[in-house]
Amino acid sequence: MTGSALVLGGGGVTGIAWEIGMLAGLLDVGVDLTTADLIIGTSAGSVVGTMIATGCDVEELYRRQLAPSGSELAARMGTAVLLRWGFAAVTSRSPERFRARVGALARRTRTVPEEERRQVIASRLPIHNWPDRRLVVTAVDAVTGELAPFDRHSGVGLVDAVAASCAVPGVWPPMTVNGRQYIDGGVRSTANVDLASGADRIVVLAPLPRGGGPMPGVSSQVAQLGDSARVAVVTPNQEARAAFGRNVLDPARRGPSARAGRAQAADAALAVHSVWSDSP
């Protein structure tokens, strides 16, 4: 495969807002990442990737991020859940085993009903059918720990795929798809950059770029691509991190995060343009 790939990483509702702000800000300076030949979305990135792959207007998406959060409540990953994640990370013999143990944690945690969560995801997606464009939405099998890269040929509905990709273990329920349960694709990697292998131009928007233990960070996955592609990685600057606050799942932080992304785009534009341009 050759061509361009846009990789959109996970990062909660603030990550969605920051990525949309970044896309809007880059458009302000003439860099259009929505033209990507391949879009890869993980967790928050699966929502943004689906929106742009299905033809949503970026400026309208940005305006929606500035609207009041209304009755949507903030979720939070509690300390107990984080400790269980950490214990699974240091005691698992393989990344797959770690992911399976986190999947087991997700399956026994009491959260909102699965269908209720699915409806929330459906309400965020203006279009519910897979686009003709190449879109990959990542999830993880909650039992085996195997990566599940869903696309329009997978026999999985788009809403189901995105809901699975956003099923943060210990916060939201695993999503049942074709008789199997799936959890957040970010459990494998916050961005799953390696799925863009083969593209010759790759831009990564990564709200949460760091890895740890069995979860590779963005920088290590980019390094594994070698010299086969031109790659630009954009991560939140200090102002954006402050806008996120301490809880990336807080809808009240959407507006500040979107504005921070748009403001940061001017500083990221040169590096992104140098990769996105057809000419080296």
Catalytically active residues, by annotation: 43, 184
Give backbone dihedrals phi and psi of 163, rounded to 5 degrees, phi first.
-60, -40
Neighbours of 190 (CB within 10 A): 29
CA 134 centroid distance within chain: 16
What is the distance between the alpha carbons of residues 246 and 95, in angstroms, rounded to a whole number? 27
Neighbours of 108 (CB within 10 A): 8
Instruction: Identify the bridge partners of residue 182 per DSSP, sorted by sequence position.
Output: 141, 175
Q: Under a CB-based contact definition with an 8 Å cutoff, are residues 254 and 69 in contact?
A: yes
What is the distance between the alpha carbons of residues 273 and 33, in angstroms, rounded to a whole number? 9
What is the distance between the alpha carbons of residues 110 and 114, in angstroms, rounded to a whole number? 11
**Exposed/middle/buried for residue 126 (C-beta within 10 Å: 0-12, 13-18, 19+):** middle
What is the distance between the alpha carbons of residues 47 and 205, in angstroms, rounded to a whole number? 13
Interstrand relation of 147-150 and 38-42 (parallel, antiparallel or unpaired): unpaired
CA 115 centroid distance within chain: 21
Q: Which helix (H) or strand (E) holds 261?
A: helix 254-276
Start-to-end CA distance of the chain, whole Å, equals 18
